[in-house]
Amino acid sequence: MVSRRLMLAGGLCAALATGAGVWERRQRAALVEQARRSLERCRESLGEARLSDARRLAGEALEASEDPATLSGYVDAEALWLVDGDGGAADGVALVERARLGGLRGRALATALLSAAVSTRNDRHALALYEQHERQGIEGDGVFELVAGAALELACDPRADALYEASIERWPGAVLPRLRRARSAIADGQLERAREVLRPLADASEGRRVLEAVASSLGASPGEPRGTFAPADAAALPRSVRPLAAALSLGDAAAALGVEAALDDADGPRAMVLLARVARARGDLDSAERAVRAAMRARPELASAQLLAEQLAGTPNPTSP
């Protein structure tokens, strides 16, 4: 009798254990599926440059499952937040630490490292990291190419354009690489190339409209109206175009405040020079001079900054005493 009771108890325990194992596996599968769906929506948001939404969805995915694929997706969202959102140096340090603790290697870790360097605006470190990853033969994707391009552009390295082009090719329909490639073309005076790059974007894209207004402003002949565009929510624009949106409003009573805020937001010396050119085109020579001085402090040897500084020095400033 005792033996039979023990057998029954043992069978019940085994059944309970089996049931618990099945329940745990089902719960795990449900969380993995939840993470997968969140990551899919995250990638859609990244492609559309909705970086805040993408960051939130990546966080939700990571809460559901911390497997390597989910962590890699989280790194992509955080990296683009660092490069083109509002991420700062502390966010970059936290991202690299999380990637390393999660055991990520290769492309994902390289993306985290490069984006962290961009967030600190450490151009020499960003360039050294890129060169290191080149030697290691890191196989990139659209996000990595974009982040690497931002790292090189920070260092005023012309190879950034090829990386932006690669990102456009590998990440069809994405907004961010097109904005950065078009901005670079405008900075180099290639206005028609910029328009070609922007053309596939939606007409309502505010990033596209900002850059088109910049190109129009710089390409206008004397006496022609300058391009202008006031976005509905400038703060929501990617960092690559946000300072230029501010530059398009320079020339009014709040110009001094506007240019300082725009310069603080600018993601590198080339962006500062472009901001200076827009300010000059709009007749705000004081802001143009401030912007070009900031670019030369960041990179004294930058030829475009030196040339613009010389041009401004020879331009009469009607606001000077």
- Please report, as a single letter, which amino acid is at residue 112: A
Residues 6+ apart with CB under 8 A from 101: none
- Is residue 14 scored above 70 in pLDDT? no
Q: What is the pLDDT of residue 317?
A: 57
pTM for this entry: 0.86
What span, in angstroms and rounded, lies between the C-alpha atoms of 177 and 186? 14
For every residue of 234-282, DSSP letters joined together read: GGGS-TTTHHHHHHTTTTSTTHHHHHHHHHHH--SHHHHHHHHHHHHHT
Q: Which two tokens stand for residue 164?
A: 């932006």
Of the listed ranges 4-8, 138-142, 166-170, 190-194, the least confidently predicted one is 4-8
- Over residues 120-136, the pLDDT tens digits come to 999 999 999 999 999 99
Contact predicate 319/286, CB 8 Å: yes
Q: Which two tokens stand for residue 193?
A: 């190339």
Q: What is the 3-state secondary structure of 157-196?
A: CCCHHHHHHHHHHHCCCCCHHHHHHHHHHHHCCCHHHHHH
Confidence of residue 261 (pLDDT cuts 50, 70, 90): confident
Task: Work out the percent of the chain whose per-residue pLDDT is above 70.
Answer: 82
Domains of the chain, earliest start first = 20-174 (1.25.40), 184-321 (1.25.40)
What span, in angstroms and rounded, lies between the C-alpha atoms of 26 and 175? 38
For residues 5-28, average pLDDT: 56
- Over residues 169-222, the pLDDT tens digits come to 999 999 999 999 999 999 999 999 999 999 999 998 999 999 999 999 898 666
- Is residue 59 scored above 80 in pLDDT? yes
Q: What is the pLDDT of residue 129?
A: 96
Q: Which two tokens stand for residue 162?
A: 């090829």
- Average pLDDT score over the chain: 86
Contact predicate 151/127, CB 8 Å: yes
* Beta-carbon count within 10 A of 84 CB: 28
- Please report, as a single letter, which amino acid is at residue 297: R
- Is residue 239 scored above 50 in pLDDT? yes
Q: 3-state class of 301 per DSSP?
A: coil
